[in-house]
Amino acid sequence: MMQGFVHPALAFGALLAVVPLIIHLLNRRRHKPLRWGAMRFVEAAYKKTRRRMQLENLLLLLLRMAAVAALAFAVARPFVGRGALGALTETSRDLVLMLDASASTAYREDIDTIFDRIVRRAEALVGDLKPTRGDRVHVLLLGSQARLIAWPTPDKALSVLSTLDHPLDEPMDLAAGFAELERLVTDGEILDIGQTEVRLLTDLQRVSFVTPGDGTDPPPYIAQLDSLQAQGLKVWVEDLGPASSTPPNLSVDSLLIDGSQRGPKEVAVTVINHTNLPQAGVRVSLTLDGNRLPSQRVDLEPRSESQAVFALGGLEPGPHSLVASTEGDRLPIDDSRARVALVPRPVRVLLVNGSPSDDLEDDGVGYLRLALEQDASGDAPSPFAVTTIRAGELPTKEAELNQFDVIWLAGMPAPSPKLVTALENRVLEGAALIVSAGPQLGDAGTYNARMFRPDGTGLLPGELLGRISIARQGDFYRIEQFDEQHPAFSIFADARVRPLLIGVPFSDFQAMAPEPGAKVLARLDDQGKSPLLVEKALGRGRSLYWASSINEDWTLLPRAGRTFVPFVYELLAYAANSQVGDRSIRPGEVLAIEVEGFPRMPELERPDGSRRILDGDPLPLGADLYRLPALVESDTRQVGLYQVHLESAPSQPFAVVLDPTESDLDRLSGSELQSLHPTLQLEAPGGPAIGAQGDPRSGEIWRALAALALACLVGESLWGAYLGRRRSVTR
């Protein structure tokens, strides 16, 4: 029984079979009867041969019509079920291969890796296809995204598979894989998904199939499987992973660097044992800027982690590459991990003193300058380079503002419009502006007119409202709440240290109404819960407002050394974005590298030694700062340490790091897999094709129809030639 057509619209071409009939009817001879003497002899002969000629002509007409109809049906490609026509059918195969190319498939068992097994199995499946029969194949390579690497002929797929010699340095995202399968269906690349054979060749790594955590949330790919199941899809999963359910593996999980503003002193290398057996005396080594430090040994309990701590000493400002490694095992890719730490230079601070005095207690920035010019620990140079000027000297520094990372206006009247413009430009380029209040602040209206804009483009993060003082002698305002996650306050989050901050008294403050885009970092305990510290981003920089003074005019904070010194240290380090940075990304991510001075001839060197000139012009960011031409996804697919070489300038390293979850090789069982979704069906490697597992459709008969059309055309030609010759001889 015929079930349908692959191309239903083309079946209407069978209507063209009436064309020979129409031509036949139009060509019939029409004449007037005319009696003559010898007519009786002609009529007798005509009656004798008439029936035979009609049958001969009818057969000729039927052959022509059958040829056209059979050709039209053949092009429409009908398929039939098992039955009377089953003997004429020919089943073509549509195959979709989804290859697990995650980093975990680099695990080596015996001689070959798991990825080698996957590729060989894919080649065997594609090798069973017959291009002459119309078999089609789509090959998807699954990593953090799904890549369609071959389609639709088996020959093309085999040529591509032969080039795959190692997996991707990425985890497998099944949601992306099934989304790509849906796209193939939507775009018409897969003609009949209900009859398409889909095979997922994988190592059944648990983290690829199950959502991390308590397991209550369904995996993100379930929604795609629901959609594909409604269309009759089944995904046959072949387990090509290691024999063990928990293959042994050691990995370097992370490099934790002291990120304080004073510069890193040490790095902790975390090593994880992913197996159920203890590992004693595991050697861990660290290479700093190409120099190998003395190695250490750690003991690891089953399914546990341990740290090896390496002293770094004093590191100069700039990027520093670190590569930690451990003993080699069957999964080499996670036996080492690179990281690039950006050690900041000393923060260049300009203090603009609104109330200078020879007395430290009365000077507008006396305590602030004293705190910043010496290291809090007393055993290292200060991480700040401080320049102090009087408010009246600020116009003379207008041309030098690009030399400072932080500009602090301490209790001074509103700058001139010209200076405000210069300050705006510097903040937009990446500097930080801090405005603190005080008795000399002056008229709030003038500040608002010059430094506040309702659209959020002004320097102030809000509108100044006026000064508020304590109601009676002896009362004070104190900090009621603060952002414990903010770097300036995080050191006070601990309950034992918190009183050092919330106990500080404030007698006066300059109230502010923050603009919608600003963030209030701390509030006082007055009736209106007034903001004490407000921040907003502006261009590449930021602006902060401190509602009280930074000397003893309105608060006793400067006298509380255990509070004041760490607070201003962390506030300025944050304002200047001067924490130890991390120039590390995941495979395929794009990195924007910024350098001082114009970069000439930037050239990327990958971990395998290959190089590429970075095309494009550097982007100027202001203050002699440039962004290198952008990298592309294909530049960063390999895990390891990279270098961007510059002409007449130091190289700029960065690291591409492996997702730590790829080191956990714990595998999913067959029952767990099939419990995830009915669409997922586990099959032993080398199992039969889907067409042999109860496919209700026998196949297509287009070849039989094409042969029938050809036979009709040949028969029509031979029969027509025979009739023409016989009738001409008869005459």
Using the CB atoms, write b or e for 511-546: b if 16+ within 10 Å.
Answer: bbebbeebbbbbbbebeeebbbbbbbebbbbbbbbb
Q: Residue with structure tokens 């008294």?
A: 505
Coil vs helix vs strand at 299: strand
Contact (Cβ atoms closer than 8 angstroms) between residue 529 and residue 477: no
More confident residue, 571 or 312: 571
What's the DSSP call for residue 249? -
Does residue 662 carry a pLDDT above 70? yes
Coil vs helix vs strand at 201: strand
CB-based contacts of 439, cutoff 8 Å, min separation 6? 355, 411, 549, 553, 554
* % of the chain residues with pLDDT over 90: 54
pLDDT at 345: 85
Length of the chain, please?
Answer: 731
Does residue 358 carry a pLDDT above 50? yes
User: 234-254, pLDDT tens digit by residue?
Assistant: 899 999 999 999 999 999 999
Closest CA to 325 of 273, 268, 285: 285
Q: How far apart are CA 442 and CA 352, in angstroms?
A: 15
Contact (Cβ atoms closer than 8 angstroms) between residue 383 and residue 263: yes
Residue ranges per structural domain of the chain? 2-89+702-730, 94-243+672-694, 271-344, 347-575, 587-656
Range with lowest mean pLDDT among 341-345, 404-408, 579-583, 613-617: 579-583
Q: Please, which residues bridge with residue 596 across strands?
A: 625
pTM above 0.85, yes or no: no
Tokens representing 719?
């029969």
What's the DSSP call for residue 88? G
Closest CA to 656 of 640, 635, 643, 644: 640
What fold characterizes domain 587-656?
Immunoglobulin-like (2.60.40)
What's the DSSP call for residue 15? G
Q: How far apart are CA 403 and CA 623, in angstroms?
A: 8
Tokens representing 343?
């050690």
Q: Which amino acid is at 230?
A: A
Cβ neighbours around 292 below 10 Å, total: 11
User: 526-577, pLDDT tens digit by residue?
Assistant: 999 999 999 999 998 999 999 999 999 999 999 998 899 999 999 998 998 8
- Cis geometry, peptide bond prior to residue 152 (ω within 30 degrees of 0): yes
Architecture of domain 94-243+672-694: 3-Layer(aba) Sandwich (3.40)
Contact (Cβ atoms closer than 8 angstroms) between residue 373 and residue 386: yes
- Cis geometry, peptide bond prior to residue 685 (ω within 30 degrees of 0): no
pLDDT at 240: 94
Contact (Cβ atoms closer than 8 angstroms) between residue 542 and residue 426: no
Residue 156 backbone dihedrals phi, psi, to 5 degrees = -65, -40
The reply to whether 94-243+672-694 and 347-575 are identical in fold is yes
User: 586-631, pLDDT tens digit by residue?
Assistant: 999 988 898 888 998 999 999 999 999 998 899 988 778 899 998 8
Tell me the CATH number for domain 347-575. 3.40.50.880
Helix boundaries (H) for 269-414 = 366-372
Q: Is 459 buried (19+), middle (13-18) or exposed (0-12) by CB count in 10 A?
A: buried
Cβ neighbours around 131 below 10 Å, total: 14
Closest CA to 575 of 340, 343, 319, 348: 348
Task: Beginning with the edge strand found earlier in the chain, give each strand of the sheet holding 94-100 in spatial order.
Answer: 146-150, 136-142, 94-100, 197-202, 235-239, 680-683
Contact (Cβ atoms closer than 8 angstroms) between residue 187 and residue 160: no
Q: Is 281 buried (19+), middle (13-18) or exposed (0-12) by CB count in 10 A?
A: exposed
pLDDT at 632: 87
What's the DSSP call for residue 430? T
Does residue 351 carry a pLDDT above 90? yes
Residue 435: C-alpha distances to residues 17, 168, 196, 357, 715 (Å): 90, 51, 68, 19, 100
What's the DSSP call for residue 277? S
Given pLDDT bands bounded at 50, 70 and 90, which one contains residue 696? very low
User: 99-154, pLDDT tens digit by residue?
Assistant: 999 999 999 988 899 999 999 999 999 999 988 777 889 999 999 999 999 888 89
Strand ranges (E), 487-559? 508-514, 519-524, 531-538, 541-546
Contact (Cβ atoms closer than 8 angstroms) between residue 523 and residue 530: yes
Computed over every residue of the chain, the mean pLDDT equals 85
User: 699-726, pLDDT tens digit by residue?
Assistant: 566 677 778 778 888 877 777 777 777 7
Q: How far apart are CA 615 and CA 602, in angstroms?
A: 8
Q: What mean pLDDT do residues 244-265 have?
A: 82
User: 410-465, pLDDT tens digit by residue?
Assistant: 999 999 999 999 999 999 988 999 999 999 988 899 999 999 999 989 999 999 99
Residue 608: C-alpha distances to residues 251, 265, 333, 640, 718 (Å): 21, 31, 13, 9, 70
pLDDT at 344: 85
Q: How far apart are CA 98 and CA 280, in angstroms?
A: 39
Does residue 93 carry a pLDDT above 90? no
Tokens representing 21?
């009939």
